[in-house]
């Protein structure tokens, strides 16, 4: 992938010896329809903390990559110290010390299930600990909280909340939004099917007339319905 190669080259130039690993995960690691929308999800592992010069360099690199493609304008990455990656606690994001990877347990589960690609550097599977189910539950609840606090992302909200519910149902978090949507159409009440189908068409870049209205009308009630079905906190 041209974007991952450009990111790797830029990180090599900016980080030098501080660079340890770049790996991708998320939708790129799952089967999906050809035109399915994906985020560019990645982690960068570092031998040492980023300083202000490094942060400015990465920010400039992001601006460059945003000119390459639509995907380059939607980078979703965490920069994490290698030492922090070896622990279970959500690691601090080196680009912004106020942010931690609250989905760290979920990301570790994907790594140990083989749903990732190493672009350059060490294999994270040799570093990150396998998550426990209580840690995964906490990660799923953090995902649900993110959905609830971003109501404008309607298609995302429908499919990601379905993924959270599906994960609780089968006690397995290594799932894609496409898998979750397919499961929802097979297993959830028909009243929700129009909203799920509209969300899947949005991700497939094949919307129909009326889908936007369907998503706007369905998303909040669907998310509330899923929230009520989740195990008590």
pLDDT value at residue 27: 87
Strand partners, 45: 21, 80
CA dist 141 to 7, 150, 169, 230, Å?
A: 31, 14, 14, 9
pLDDT value at residue 72: 79
pLDDT value at residue 215: 98
Q: Return the ∠ at Cα 95 (arms to 90 and 101), rounded to 5°.
A: 20
**The two three-digit tokens of residue 44, written as one number:** 């960068």
Distance CA 110, CA 231 (A): 22
Distance CA 171, CA 173 (A): 7
Strand partners, 96: 93
pLDDT value at residue 28: 87
Q: What is the pLDDT along the chain (233 residues), one digit of tens a residue?
A: 688 899 999 999 999 999 999 999 988 889 899 999 988 899 999 999 999 999 999 999 999 998 888 877 888 899 999 999 999 999 999 999 999 999 999 999 999 999 999 999 999 999 999 999 999 999 999 999 999 999 999 999 999 999 999 999 999 999 999 999 999 999 999 999 999 999 999 999 999 999 999 999 999 999 999 999 998 66
- CATH 3.30.460 positions along the chain are 2-126
8-state DSSP, 34: T
- Enumerate residues 6+ apart whose C-beta is below 8 A from 190: none
Sign of CA dihedral 5, 6, 9, 15: negative
Q: If you classify domain 2-126 with CATH, what class do you get? A: alpha beta
Cα 113 versus chain centre, distance: 15
Instruction: Please write down the long-range contacts of 187-191, taking CB distance under 8 Å and 24 or more positions apart.
Output: 188/162
Distance CA 83, CA 127 (A): 9
Q: Indicate the pTM of the whole model.
A: 0.93
């Amino acid at each position: 992938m041209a974007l991952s190669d450009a990111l790797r080259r830029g990180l090599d130039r900016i980080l030098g010896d501080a660079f340890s690993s770049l790996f991708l995960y998320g939708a790129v690691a799952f089967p999906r329809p050809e035109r399915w929308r994906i985020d560019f999800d990645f982690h960068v592992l570092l031998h040492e903390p980023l300083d202000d010069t490094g942060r400015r360099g990465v920010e400039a690199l992001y601006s460059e990559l945003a000119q390459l493609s639509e995907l380059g304008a939607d980078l979703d990455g965490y920069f994490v110290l290698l030492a922090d990656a070896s622990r279970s606690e959500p690691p601090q994001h080196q680009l912004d010390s106020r942010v931690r990877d609250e989905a760290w347990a979920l990301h570790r589960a994907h790594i140990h299930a083989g749903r990732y690609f190493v672009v350059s550097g060490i294999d994270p599977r040799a570093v990150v600990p396998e998550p426990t189910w209580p840690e995964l539950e906490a990660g799923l609840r953090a995902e649900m909280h993110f959905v609830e606090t971003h109501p404008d992302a309607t298609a995302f909200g429908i499919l990601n909340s379905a993924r959270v519910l599906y994960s609780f149902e089968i006690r397995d978090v290594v799932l894609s939004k496409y898998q979750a949507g397919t499961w929802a159409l097979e297993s959830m009440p028909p009243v929700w099917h129009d909203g799920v189908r509209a969300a899947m068409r949005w991700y497939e870049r094949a919307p129909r007339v009326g889908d936007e209205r369907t998503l706007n009308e369905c998303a909040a009630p669907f998310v509330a319905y899923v929230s009520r079905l989740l195990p008590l906190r």
